[in-house]
Every structure is written in C-alpha cells, then in structure tokens.
C-alpha cells in the first residue's frame, strides 16, 4: 500500500521566476499604480540598494519595462518613467473606444452569453462599499478583459492588453486624490444590461461614454522632472 500523500488540486506548483522578472513586476506595479510617477528617474544603484539585489537584475528589469513602453532613455541623463502627454492620453482612450466598441459589436453579432460580466460588477460594488480602490481597479480591469475575451478575437485581445498598461496608469494617476468609487462601479451594470437586451445602439453608446470618461485628464499635473 502506497504511503504517498496526494495534494489537493488547488495547490499550485512553485514557480521559479527569474529575479529580473520579479524586479520588473514590482517596478511595473509601482508605475501602473502611480506610485512611480511619469518623469521619475530610475537610478540602478538606488533601486538595487532599496530592493536588496545587485544592479544586473535591475538593469534587465528596466529593459523589460522599456520594451513595454513604460520607461525611456534620456541622453546624458539615464532612464525614467516615460511621461504622458495630452495627445497620448487622447489617443489611448480613442483607441480603447475603438477596441471596446468592436468587442461589443462582435458579442452582439455572435449572441454569446455575457453572464460572466455580472461577477465583476458585483466585485466592483463590494470594493466600492469597502472603499477599496485597489480591489475596485482590479475588478474593473477584469470586467473589460472579460468583455474583450467574449469578442473571441485573438489579435484584439493581444492589442487591448498592451494598451491597458497605459489605461491602468492613467486611471491611477487621475484618481489618486479624488475618486468616487460608487460612481465607477455603477457605470458597468447598464452596459451588461444593454448587452443582455441585445440593444446594440444603447450598448455602443454606453461603452463609448464609459471609455471617454478619463480622456480629459491633463497629464501635465503629474509629471516629475528627472
């Protein structure tokens, strides 16, 4: 008789994540959450000391973030979090609108059920009630990710994921001081209702209005000099 103990299926295997990826993930989180603001300098020696690692993984992590478009090199000065411009904010949200309107059209054309979206609406309402901005932001992102997934378009999904790095950052920077969590949460159930009703005009109007909500953000208010 075997003495081997089988672990429950929900215990995930231990992942051996390279140090450069761990560092990149922490820095990316700081950038996207607004803790590292646009224009903030990234000094390898200071980051290495603060994160208790050598300079090599810091350098490699910064390169990963540069490839993501979140970091840039300034001649004779070094690396910094890439600043946002008013044009970039406007272009980001105009492109987001195109992506999400396309997703809504495909969902309505295919007739795919949208029941899964209710879960994220409920999570946003719970986060708003608890005044938990981080949880609400996570549920908000999950809602839109699910919306794009329901469109069943691989290239659209890949493009949206890349764009959402900037969207996440803009949202965090804009809402860092003033944020009405109840209002953010309440914007989503009407979109789901319009999709369930197969009301194309209303669904497209609502998703367009929703994606334009942050487009008036002025990035000049949050830039730091290198």
pLDDT of residue 115: 95
Nearest to 147 by CA among 106, 182, 185, 184: 106
> What is the per-residue pLDDT for 215?
62
Q: Which of 47-51, 52-56, 122-126, 161-165 shows the lowest mean pLDDT across its residues?
A: 161-165
The DSSP bridge pattern shows strands 71-74 and 41-42 to be unpaired
The CATH T-level fold of domain 19-81 is Arc Repressor Mutant, subunit A (1.10.10)
Q: What is the pLDDT of residues 135-176, one digit of tens each?
A: 888 899 999 999 999 999 999 999 998 888 888 888 877 766
Q: Which token pair is 213?
A: 């909500």
What pLDDT is attached to residue 12?
58
- Residue 226: pLDDT band (50, 70, 90) is very low
| pLDDT computed for residue 44 by the predictor | 93
Which two three-digit tokens encode residue 166? Answer: 């900037």
pLDDT at 36 exceeding the cut of 80: yes
User: Does 27 have pLDDT greater than 50?
Assistant: yes
CA–CA dist 142, 151 (Å, integer): 14
Contacts of 226 (CB under 8 A, 6+ apart): 39, 40, 41, 74, 77, 78, 80
Q: Is the pLDDT of residue 4 over 60?
A: no
Cβ atoms of 81 and 39 within 8 Å: the answer is yes
How much is the pLDDT for 166?
84
Considering only 41-50, 57-66, 168-177, 185-194, which range has the smallest mean pLDDT? 168-177
Residue 204 token pair: 């497209």
The whole-model pTM stands at 0.77
The answer to whether 164 touches 144, Cβ cutoff 8 Å, is yes
Q: Which DSSP string corresponds to 177-225? A: T---HHHHHHTSHHHHHHHHTT-HHHHHHHHHHHHTTTTT--GGGT---
Residue 14 clears pLDDT 70, i.e. is over it? no
Distance CA 160, CA 66 (A): 18
Q: Which residue has the higher pLDDT, 2 or 45?
A: 45
Q: Do the beta carbons of residue 108 and residue 93 sit within 8 Å?
A: no
Average pLDDT over the chain, rounded to an integer: 87
**pLDDT average, residue stretch 200-218:** 84
The order of strands in the sheet holding 41-42 is 41-42, 78-81, 71-74
Task: Pick the more confident residue, 216 or 62.
Answer: 62
Q: Where are the domains of the chain?
A: 19-81, 87-217
Per-residue confidence (pLDDT) for residue 8, from 0 to 100: 61
Q: Which fold has domain 87-217?
A: 1.20.120
Q: Which residue has the tokens 């938990």?
A: 132
- CA–CA gap between residue 118 and residue 129 (Å, rounded): 17
Can you give the pLDDT at residue 216? 63
Identify the pLDDT of residue 26: 94
């Amino acid at each position: 008789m075997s003495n081997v103990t089988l672990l429950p299926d929900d215990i995930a295997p231990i992942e051996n994540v390279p140090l450069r990826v761990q560092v990149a993930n922490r820095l990316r989180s700081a950038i996207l959450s607004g803790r590292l603001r646009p224009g903030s300098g990234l000094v390898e020696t200071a980051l290495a000391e603060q994160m208790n690692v050598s300079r090599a993984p810091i350098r490699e992590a910064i390169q990963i973030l540069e490839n993501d478009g979140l970091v840039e090199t300034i001649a004779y000065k070094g690396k910094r979090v890439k600043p946002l411009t008013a044009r970039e904010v406007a272009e980001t949200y105009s492109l987001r609108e195109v992506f999400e309107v396309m997703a809504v059209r495909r969902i309505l054309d295919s007739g795919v059920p949208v029941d899964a979206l209710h879960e994220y609406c409920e999570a946003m309402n719970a986060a708003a009630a608890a005044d938990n901005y981080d949880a609400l932001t996570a549920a908000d992102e999950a809602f839109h990710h699910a919306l794009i997934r329901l469109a069943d378009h691989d290239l659209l999904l890949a493009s949206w994921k890349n764009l959402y790095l900037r969207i996440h950052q803009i949202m965090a920077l804009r809402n860092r001081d003033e944020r009405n969590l109840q209002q953010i949460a309440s914007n989503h159930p009407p979109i789901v209702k319009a999709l369930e009703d197969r009301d194309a005009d209303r669904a497209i109007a609502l998703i367009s209005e929703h994606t334009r909500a942050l487009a008036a953000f002025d990035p000049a208010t949050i830039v730091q000099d290198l």
